[in-house]
Structure 1
């Protein structure tokens, strides 16, 4: 409990802790309720509301002439908002920017900023402003008894606590703000969509959020960029009041190579986007882009041209990369946090927001009708008195001429009220004409009909709802427009890998016996014909593409990998693999393989064991590589070969014997020893393994000797895995390679 004492001078005493706590809480509540969060009734923060009201008081309506912004800001600060002029002017600028507000409330003249730099607006002494036509939806009913009024900061004037919005403005222009311990982020929406949802909710208050989303499918930003948030995420957003919306730039292709971006996400600068793309080009990370141009002008406010290298480049893939790496795609936080009708901030879902605003609107219309009814009854009362005076005009004139104080005499003589007698005494002589009685009776009839109509509506909730519905639809028709931000479901943006960004070129990777590596362009390179350092010689070569990973296998059965495009040129002797990789002492590199990650290869040892694996299982990010095949003592790793579904496998031993079996008999493993390939004595070894399509002709190469086997000869060796196979001529005792015959 707070401890406080009052000394003999009447001064309250508190501890510093108590005072600080109360002061901070008071400040927090002030920021939340009177600065940062919008009110659900009109969707405005206090500074915005005061600017709009002050402009209407200055007569700056849509039909008036523009006046200096400094005059408006001065009026706002002097009468309603004693804060900084720059903050007040910035709030006013924001309401005038058609790229910031979906439905601008201020009509500006002069430099009010640009999409590239929203804060590049001129000083308030240079710009001029008036209210936009749309702002009338917030102000039109202000003087009709619809809202409560409160004294301004010095008590000399009164200002409306909220504005009587005719449409749910809280959803239309959106807002963002940071208070103490809470924030708000409401995206803009389409007027007609929101009004249709309100009308549907008036007809059926039991509609669910899911049903309301059919009317309000997504936010509608003041640009033509695409909303790509999945429908399920949007539904979750509107059900909880929290989430995010993703927007992507719109583009089209000209002349096959020019990608023209004609709409940017909300509050994204075109200059910044070009700068981001140019930075990637300088870093050699966009080889598919050769030029950038900003062709924006008065007719095309957004026109950024990205020129691609050729028509063969996949435009969609290139743009998805740019979406992922630049501001061409942006995500916006959504937090539907507003001050409700109970005066408390709360995060609300779509239905709660609309239903609560409709409660406010129904009450506003009721107050407007009641205010008008009171005026009608008051006027009818006066007309009754005037009619009495006209029916007894001579006597009334005689009393006024004869009496010093005619008012009480008139009241007593004709049974008039004070108001009626006062209105008779204020009559001008010109209103004593004969036709005046007819005018009074006509006005009485007209007002009586209006009275009956007003009372019918006020006494019937159904009629009141119908009136609100009619007015909403009329306002939506008059001030609304079509959706600007198309709602689509697009592929997720994905940055391309370093390999994907490279041009795909054919390469031949050559490995020497001492572990030196190099890569030559093309597939017509013969590694045996290349020069080598003294004491070094050709070991192995592999054909592939520059975007692929080169896999190296060492004498212990470990695998390593390096991007092919990073390997040194074959114009030199290359460089030792030990400079990039870390094999153990005495370990040498034996084989090199290139291919797609999903390609399947046969990994086998000279001991006669092997298995099938995907090439990506051979990749390793570690310099020390990874264990791939378990080699029995004294065994070597054989040249891996690509294998396809329904292939056959040929195994040749040093006995020499040959076995052919179906590739599907080999297990598919990530690593291991594998299964036995062929039955052979311990003193022999497997010298080559090769996979091929049935019906192929194969060349068995032993040194300089080549023996060709046709389909018939190959079928003679066809059996099950792990059989002995058939004998071969002694000339094929040391087969080192098997290849397809040309």
Structure 2
């Protein structure tokens, strides 16, 4: 008996296996899923879906078919990655607000520009658009592209579609791969065709030269590209940012009313961002930044976008328009990254490189197409010449047919002149038969020829067909042998496509000045900030404060005077500082409820605890004392908190468990008192606390046991007698707690 061979164990570094596996996975996602091919501008799922529809015969002039049928067939034959990805791709190819040129004709609910999703695939129907059939899928039967096995090798699918226009530019692309992403805007078909023809006439043309034809992106939603001067750099490098504004028109109504009507929106605004825009406008009205806007309504329909803002009489239209551009997504940015699969690998391409790859592909497709056509015409000519020759000796051929016993005898006689076994009427007929030398194809055609072909008119038609075939062969050979001839054919094809499917540009291209929004000047005045123990904040007039001073202090936790142009700084136990503009805090009467502080800034009472609130004006000209639960102390110059950001780290804590106990302006106070949870007190001079930056942890204020932590901290003036209640016993912090040094153990209070 043979011994069982042991399994071979390959020992290797785990990191090497992980690296190789990850690279394989990344390349699979990049090439086979996320990025389009530069030749046809399609991702694999789009290519497979269109080819499947072509195979199913769902043509533009045929009835619609259920999307569920298309998705199921595509998934079963070509794309085994789940039905949702296939249906999503199918839906996007049918949405005219996403694609410059929709490739699928959708019937039913295919979603809306406002972000509504498409209906389930069992309800919707689809078929190919005419342009898809004529420009994207034509000539697939002429062996113009390679066909490769599908995932289980039971079917064949095209590796690329023979698209006759640069679809990567026409429809753009977006996709996220592993470590890279593509984002290409759509362009105008007429401009693309003109640019391709210009490149074919002059291969040395520059990107600047191509941009005489391609002015810039042409988004299906229209809008205005406002940074025209940046486009040259974007198209040369393949990366950059395009600024787009919506189109705003002014309409006059009755009684002198004015309406701002948004008829075109920036391309990135489609979807849920339209709803966000409406909310942002409402927010501007609520915050009194756009009080001239009386009403806003979305009157958009299938005919197009129409968002109407009703304005007060005499409103400053230009200021409101600028406000919308500055504060909402009515002006947005489209990030360009022209990344595509070229020659089997991902590459960031310039405008000229995209057109170069497309033209090279067109020459390859045209070469294969005309080689295929030439071969067929050569075969047709061979047959025609055989039939013409046969008509001249038809009597002899009939004699051979009648004198033969088998078809094999006839073929051998016609091809090689073998007369053995065939009965002839005369020796001369036999001698003539021995001289016959038809080809295999000609002999087959002669045997299949009907007698009606011998009619005079039919023979004339055959001669005319032969002449036409010879002319075609001459034409095809000329195209294949001469670059100029092939170029002319491709350019004629492009001209026809432009004539039939071209349309006017929707997006305007211009250089516009940056929006300068002059905020209305606010008259500076003194107000009093109030916040109760529940976190409701408001500001009131100083005279109202004076009239109700006692009630104000009894009912509120924080009370201080500030300017209406100032900011309120909120320090929390997590060591953060949140700033809130006083203008954003409701201003009203003393008895008004106010607004929760959570709603005014980034502070959240559910995540952190407020420990100190003050006006920036009071803070920035003083020093703040910080004390943490770990016993760390420091002084920080208040000017460090005069920042633009709404939220910053006010201090660095010693650990994740540490918390900020005290943050307070240290002005005239001379002493610091620290109280731990174990009842240890320490009083020392504020002059012993060093000044540090806000990013520092600080120095140790008190030596504590491992299980102890600072629970309270107090700032005292030199002549101040401050008394606290500790375990139901009153303790004077100045009389009971002796003055000591910082970083000592402190005094244990026994109760």
Contact 1:40–1:338 under 8 Å retained in 2:
yes
CA 1:248–1:412: 2 relative to 1, 3 Å: same
**Pick aligned residue for 2:225 from 224, 227, 240:** 227
What's the TM-score, normalizing by structure 1?
0.66
Counterpart position of 2:154: 156
CA shift for structure 1 position 462: 1.6
CA 1:171–1:548: 2 relative to 1, 3 Å: same
CA shift for structure 1 position 226: 1.3
Looking at structure 1, the residues matched to 390 and 587 of structure 2 have their Cα atoms a distance apart, in angstroms, of: 113
What's the TM-score, normalizing by structure 2?
0.65
Is structure 2 residue 237 aligned with structure 1 residue 240?
yes
Counterpart position of 1:307: 310
Report the 3-state secondary structure (helix = DSSP H, G, I; strand = E; otherwise coil) of the residue aligned with 1:143: helix
**Pick aligned residue for 1:426 from 427, 443, 448:** 448
**Pick aligned residue for 1:297 from 296, 301, 306:** 301
Contact 2:526–2:564 under 8 Å retained in 1:
no
CA 1:621–1:125: 2 relative to 1, 3 Å: closer
Contact 1:508–1:519 under 8 Å retained in 2:
no
Q: Which moved more, 1:171-180 or 1:429-438?
A: 429-438
Counterpart position of 2:485: 463
Counterpart position of 1:388: 389
CA 1:564–1:181: 2 relative to 1, 3 Å: closer
Query: What CA deviation, in whole Å up to 9, does each residue of 1:118-158 have, x standing for no partner?
Result: 5x111111111100012121111212221111111222221
Contact 2:142–2:369 under 8 Å retained in 1:
yes
Contact 2:525–2:564 under 8 Å retained in 1:
no
Q: Which moved more, 1:353-362 or 1:396-405?
A: 396-405
Counterpart position of 1:62: 60
Report 1:66-81 matches (<5 A).
Answer: 66-81=64-79
Counterpart position of 1:411: 415
**Pick aligned residue for 2:246 from 243, 249, 273:** 249
CA shift for structure 1 position 297: 3.3
Is structure 2 residue 136 aligned with structure 1 residue 134?
no
Counterpart position of 2:346: 345
Is structure 2 residue 483 aligned with structure 1 residue 483?
no
Q: Which moved more, 1:383-392 or 1:424-433?
A: 424-433
Report the 3-state secondary structure (helix = DSSP H, G, I; strand = E; otherwise coil) of the residue aligned with 1:356: helix
Counterpart position of 1:275: 279
CA shift for structure 1 position 203: 1.5
CA shift for structure 1 position 397: 2.8
Looking at structure 2, the residues matched to 293 and 435 of structure 1 have their Cα atoms a distance apart, in angstroms, of: 74
CA 1:77–1:582: 2 relative to 1, 3 Å: closer
Looking at structure 1, the residues matched to 101 and 197 of structure 2 have their Cα atoms a distance apart, in angstroms, of: 21
**CA RMSD, Structure 1 to Structure 2 (Å):** 3.4
Looking at structure 1, the residues matched to 503 and 228 of structure 2 have their Cα atoms a distance apart, in angstroms, of: 23
Contact 1:94–1:100 under 8 Å retained in 2:
yes
Alignment gaps of 5+ in structure 1: 1-6, 511-516, 521-529, 534-546, 551-561, 573-577, 586-619, 623-742
Looking at structure 2, the residues matched to 128 and 176 of structure 1 have their Cα atoms a distance apart, in angstroms, of: 25
Query: What CA deviation, in whole Å up to 9, does each residue of 1:334-362 have, x standing for no partner?
Result: 1111111x222110111111122111112
Query: What CA deviation, in whole Å up to 9, does each residue of 1:293-350 have, x standing for no partner?
Result: 1222344x31111122332x3222212222222221221111111111x222110111
Contact 1:321–1:496 under 8 Å retained in 2:
no
Contact 2:264–2:305 under 8 Å retained in 1:
yes
**Pick aligned residue for 1:201 from 190, 193, 199:** 199
Contact 2:453–2:459 under 8 Å retained in 1:
no
Counterpart position of 2:22: 24
Is structure 2 residue 502 aligned with structure 1 residue 446?
no
Report 1:496-515 matches (<5 A).
Answer: 497=519, 499=520
Counterpart position of 1:101: 99
Contact 1:268–1:327 under 8 Å retained in 2:
no
CA 1:583–1:93: 2 relative to 1, 3 Å: closer
Counterpart position of 2:84: 86
Q: Which moved more, 1:219-228 or 1:323-332?
A: 323-332
Looking at structure 1, the residues matched to 32 and 115 of structure 2 have their Cα atoms a distance apart, in angstroms, of: 29
CA 1:309–1:421: 2 relative to 1, 3 Å: same
Query: What CA deviation, in whole Å up to 9, does each residue of 1:657-682 have, x standing for no partner?
Result: xxxxxxxxxxxxxxxxxxxxxxxxxx
CA 1:395–1:104: 2 relative to 1, 3 Å: same
Report the 3-state secondary structure (helix = DSSP H, G, I; strand = E; otherwise coil) of the residue aligned with 2:371: helix
Contact 1:519–1:564 under 8 Å retained in 2:
no
Counterpart position of 2:631: none
Looking at structure 1, the residues matched to 7 and 465 of structure 2 have their Cα atoms a distance apart, in angstroms, of: 64
Counterpart position of 1:474: 496
Looking at structure 2, the residues matched to 158 and 305 of structure 1 have their Cα atoms a distance apart, in angstroms, of: 53
Counterpart position of 2:398: 397
**Pick aligned residue for 1:175 from 173, 176, 185:** 173
CA shift for structure 1 position 39: 0.9
CA 1:14–1:173: 2 relative to 1, 3 Å: farther
CA 1:531–1:69: 2 relative to 1, 3 Å: closer
Contact 1:518–1:567 under 8 Å retained in 2:
no
CA shift for structure 1 position 434: 3.9
